[in-house]
Structure 1
Amino acid sequence: MSVLKQALHEGSFVCVLEIIPRQSSSSFSALEQIIQRGHLAGWPLFPSFSDRVGARCDLSPLEGAAALEDPSSSVLHFSGKDRERTDLLFYLESMKARGLNQLLLLSGDRLLGHHPGQSPIRYLESVSALQIARAHYPDWLLGAVLNPFKYREEEGCAQYLKAQKKLLAGADFLTLQLGFDAAKHLEAQNWMHTQADAKPMLACVMQLTYKRATALNDVPGIVITESMRGVLYRELRVSSAYAGTRSLERLALQIVGLQLMGYAGVHVSGVHTLDELMALEKIINRHLGSISSLTDWMVRWQASWEMPEAPKIRFTPDSGGWQMGQSHVSATHRELLRYTLLARVHRLLFSGIGRLSKAFGWSVTRPFWKDAIAAHTMHTIERAIKRPLVGCDTCGTCRLHDTLYICPETCPKGLANGPCGGTYLNRCEFGDRECVHSVKYRIAKSANQLPLLAQTLIPCIEAKDRHRSSWPKWFRKDD
């Protein structure tokens, strides 16, 4: 059993320290000092190496872990952006060769230079990656990410529905996206308690300064409101030392609060030296000795964001305040009509029941369609019909019946199992459209199909299958 897995199994509160692996001997020297200490406020501390979040010249998580004297306790990230199954399998084999067996799988933020109107870039989404990793290494510690900081019903519920898929696919734990809204932290924890097989959750935290808040504006899925920025700016106007002290106090206070909420640990970002760790630990110990309840903590957390003449702090966007349990939206007449018609066509042609479906199946499985020219002709016909209707990219294995006839290829990342964490008030991370998974949620809700979004694990599309007709596969399962 891996070290972190053992700690989670025993119910120990843990700290995972996120590191962006960079080619700097000084940064690795500082990191080694932290790892050798091995704990924060008595809680076991584990290094975690991020993947594809910084510059292209950054090291891979494997290279980052290899720089440690003892990398065995490391948690490696695997980002699915611009990757396929073969990339993950190679990554898993490389980990095994180095004796590493703790992995956090995520689809990844928008790849630098990815523009939807140009050539598509594929993302191996976390649900599929979890299935693949779990099938090959059943005993490894595997984690995934949940972003509960959503303030519209569609995007919030879609996040939790996809998180259920991640648990079904084999996740041993979930790590939350970086966030500061305690109400959403409690919401996520309450949601996990309702699951049949509840898993431990870690919450991502960071010392939030005005400079970092400005930089995080460009990071999808992280919510920092204007009132939060206003407080950080006022603190900085007093002095940089004052702002630094206040932000470190809040980080320590947030960690203590998350433990009181029942989180299994924290995923700490932005701590780079042993001195920073020790300063944080000192404040944590002070709070641990003086806070006796979550109610007491809530009062202190709210007070930690107060500044003279500053507006009352709000952690929710002005234009969105959805919370778990609220249910107001439904599919439009047009959305529901489209779903109904396409579902009917699907049953008529692809159910394998009835004369029309049997005749269609017989016609598309004739041996001559395997000829290259004939296969290309069928592919062209399917694309010509389905692209105007649903945005089809003829991926070779049609998943429309599992996605409420919202084609996954209309998501810029090609995600089929649910949304990424980068949406904001239902808008796609790319900013040019509503998230297709929000539309899918409305249809599923109105058509009584929500279990489909929580229980049907849709496999990834293999690279070799793309750009060919999916029709023969429906009727010839061994194709």
Structure 2
Amino acid sequence: MSQLKDALHEHTFVCVMEFVPKPSAERFAALDAIMARKQLCGWPLTVAIGDRVGSPLDMSPLDAFTSLDTAVPALLHFSGKDRERQDLLAQLKRMDNAGLDQLLILTGDRLPGHQPGQRPVRYLESVAALQITRQARPDWLLGAALNPFKYHEEEGAAQYFKAEKKLSAGADFLTLQMGYDDRKHQEALHWMRRQRTPKPLIACLMALTHGRAKMLEHVAGAVVSPAMRDILAAELDVSKAYAQTRSIERLALQVIGLKLMGYAGVHLSGIHDLAQFQALEQALHTQQGEIHTLEQWAPAWAASWQMPGLPAVTFNPPGANWRLGESRVSASRTEQARYHVLSGLHSLLFDRSNWLSRSFGWAVTRPVWRTAQGARLLHQLERSIKRPLLGCDTCGRCRLEDTLYICPESCPKGLANGPCGGTSLNRCEFGDRECVHSVKYRTAKSVEQTAVLTDRLIPCIELPSRHQSSWPTWFNPTLTTTPEPCGSGGAPLRLAREEARPASPKPSAHHLKPAHTKRPAEIDN
């Protein structure tokens, strides 16, 4: 087993050092010097190599790994932004050749330059990527992400619901988004311990200064409250050296607290040279001799966020402080009516049992629709009906039944299984809309269909099926939706419905009445 897998299996606290690969000899030399230490305060040390953090032109994690002077234990990242299934499979093959067998799978933040309504950018969603990887490499160590630092019910509960899907899809551990709210760290642990098969959690940390706080304002999903910024500014007013010392001491204190809470390890970001690493190690040695319990740690953590003349720090944004287990929101009448109308239409036209559905199915599976002109006409007809109503992009395999009739294509990233980690108070990372998954959560809660948000793992849309009508294959999975040869240059669709949907048969969302529906108010009870 790998070092990280060994540590997680043996319940040994582990330190993961994040490395963002850049074509800089100095950065690689600095990482080599840090990794030569092999441990931090006796904890095993491994490196996590980021993927497409800046742009798609960044050095790949595998190329960065092979550029290191000495082979070290490594956790490679895979970001799904602007990627397809074949990109993931190609990376798996290259990793096999390099002897690597552990991967942190992320959907990825917004691709630079991606604007909704302009050139479509595909994001290979983490849930689907986990399914693909687990099937292809059953014995690998796979990780995924969780962002518990959410302060509205919709975005927070939806994060945990999607995390359940990630566990079901094959994640062996979850790495948290960077954050400083100790109550949210404990919340995530409490949630994990209530899962059927709990998995290790690793917390992502960074020594925070006033300058880094400004930088994090532009990092999707990162939360630095005004109260935190005020304290960091006051530290900088004393001196830059004082502010840097305080940031390292706070980082060491946070590492100790997370270890005492029960985290499996920490994922350290922003340590770029050996001097910073040694300063952290010294702070850890000092504080470990003084703090042995959470009861000792809590007041020390609070004191580290105090400055004379300033009020006690609050980590949550002003006016927003949702905690797991609180249930306050519900869908509007319009949102509920929309669901019921669309669900009723779906039952009439697509359940394959009533005479109207059978008639519609017979009509759209006629041979005429398998000619080049017929396929184009049917595609245009479906798109003209569904795009104004739902934001449909005619992906060739409609997922509306599994998403409470909120089209995944109305998400700029096309995410079907739940939100990314980049939302902020229910706002989409792109800033131009409310996150569609927040709307989906409210709707699911109000119509008692939250089981849909955890139980249905929705595969990715394959390239050959896109921009074709989904109707023929819905009623007859053996049909292709375009003739051979395809006039647009694409391959004909040959995805059977049983391949495209969960293996076990599920009733439609309209008829689903789960025996136990998880609601946020029940998760903590």
Q: Does TM, scored on the shorter chain, surpass 0.5?
A: yes
The answer for the alignment partner of 1:300 in structure 2 is 300
What are the residue-to-residue correspondences of 1:152-301 with 2, within 5 Å? 152-301=152-301
Q: Give the SS at the match of 1:392.
A: coil
Whichever residue aligns with residue 287 of structure 1, its letter is: Q
Say if 1:242 and 1:72 are closer, same or farther in 2 by CA, change over 3 A: closer
Query: 1:70 Cα deviation (Å)?
Result: 4.3
Indicate if the aligned counterparts of 1:71 and 1:100 stay in contact, CA closer than 8 A.
no
What are the residue-to-residue correspondences of 1:26-425 with 2, within 5 Å? 26-55=26-55, 57-71=57-71, 73-425=73-425
Q: Deviations over 1:418-468 (max 9, x none)?
A: 000000110101111000000000010011111110110000001111000
The answer for the alignment partner of 1:432 in structure 2 is 432
Indicate if the aligned counterparts of 1:2 and 1:140 stay in contact, CA closer than 8 A.
no
Alpha-carbon distance between aligned partners in 1 of 2:57 and 2:221, rounded to the nearest angstrom: 24
Alpha-carbon distance between aligned partners in 1 of 2:136 and 2:70, rounded to the nearest angstrom: 25
Query: 1:72 Cα deviation (Å)?
Result: 5.6
Whichever residue aligns with residue 215 of structure 2, its letter is: A
Indicate if the aligned counterparts of 2:79 and 2:108 stay in contact, CA closer than 8 A.
yes
Indicate if the aligned counterparts of 2:46 and 2:72 stay in contact, CA closer than 8 A.
no
Alpha-carbon distance between aligned partners in 1 of 2:64 and 2:319, rounded to the nearest angstrom: 41
Indicate if the aligned counterparts of 1:331 and 1:446 stay in contact, CA closer than 8 A.
yes
Q: Deviations over 1:328-372 (max 9, x none)?
A: 111111101110011111111111101111111111111221111
Aligned-pair Cα RMSD in Å = 1.0
Alpha-carbon distance between aligned partners in 2 of 1:4 and 1:43, rounded to the nearest angstrom: 11
Q: Give the SS at the match of 1:204.
A: strand
Q: Tell me, which stretches of 5 or more residues in structure 1 are unaligned? A: none
Worse-matched range after superposition: 121-130 or 287-296: 287-296
Q: Give the SS at the match of 2:96.
A: helix
Whichever residue aligns with residue 13 of structure 1, its letter is: F
Alpha-carbon distance between aligned partners in 2 of 1:449 and 1:58, rounded to the nearest angstrom: 41
The answer for the alignment partner of 1:453 in structure 2 is 453
Worse-matched range after superposition: 191-200 or 114-123: 114-123
Alpha-carbon distance between aligned partners in 2 of 1:151 and 1:109, rounded to the nearest angstrom: 19
Say if 1:79 and 1:56 are closer, same or farther in 2 by CA, change over 3 A: closer
Whichever residue aligns with residue 403 of structure 1, its letter is: T
Query: 1:56 Cα deviation (Å)?
Result: 5.3
Query: 1:57 Cα deviation (Å)?
Result: 4.8
Q: Give the SS at the match of 2:103.
A: strand
Worse-matched range after superposition: 438-447 or 281-290: 281-290
Whichever residue aligns with residue 220 of structure 1, its letter is: A
Q: Give the SS at the match of 1:218.
A: coil
Whichever residue aligns with residue 445 of structure 2, its letter is: K
Alpha-carbon distance between aligned partners in 1 of 2:473 and 2:297, rounded to the nearest angstrom: 57
Q: Deviations over 1:141-191 (max 9, x none)?
A: 100000000000000000000000000000000000000000000000000
Q: TM-score when scaled to structure 1?
A: 0.99
Alpha-carbon distance between aligned partners in 1 of 2:72 and 2:454, rounded to the nearest angstrom: 34
Q: Give the SS at the match of 1:128.
A: helix
The answer for the alignment partner of 2:9 in structure 1 is 9
Whichever residue aligns with residue 198 of structure 1, its letter is: P
Whichever residue aligns with residue 277 of structure 2, its letter is: L
Q: Tell me, which stretches of 5 or more residues in structure 2 are unaligned? A: 480-525
Whichever residue aligns with residue 54 of structure 2, its letter is: G
Query: 1:274 Cα deviation (Å)?
Result: 1.9
Alpha-carbon distance between aligned partners in 1 of 2:270 and 2:392, rounded to the nearest angstrom: 42
For CA contacts below 8 A with separation 6 or more, give which structure has more relative contact order: 1
Alpha-carbon distance between aligned partners in 2 of 1:243 and 1:174, rounded to the nearest angstrom: 31
Query: 1:292 Cα deviation (Å)?
Result: 2.1
Alpha-carbon distance between aligned partners in 2 of 1:57 and 1:167, rounded to the nearest angstrom: 31
Say if 1:71 and 1:409 are closer, same or farther in 2 by CA, change over 3 A: farther
Q: Give the SS at the match of 1:37.
A: coil
Whichever residue aligns with residue 256 of structure 1, its letter is: I
Q: Percent of counterpart pairs with the same letter? A: 59
Indicate if the aligned counterparts of 1:72 and 1:100 stay in contact, CA closer than 8 A.
no
Whichever residue aligns with residue 265 of structure 2, its letter is: G
Q: TM-score when scaled to structure 2?
A: 0.90
Query: 1:222 Cα deviation (Å)?
Result: 0.3
Alpha-carbon distance between aligned partners in 1 of 2:381 and 2:293, rounded to the nearest angstrom: 65
Indicate if the aligned counterparts of 1:144 and 1:175 stay in contact, CA closer than 8 A.
yes
Q: Give the SS at the match of 2:217.
A: helix
Q: Deviations over 1:21-69 (max 9, x none)?
A: 1111121111111112111110001011001112555311111111124
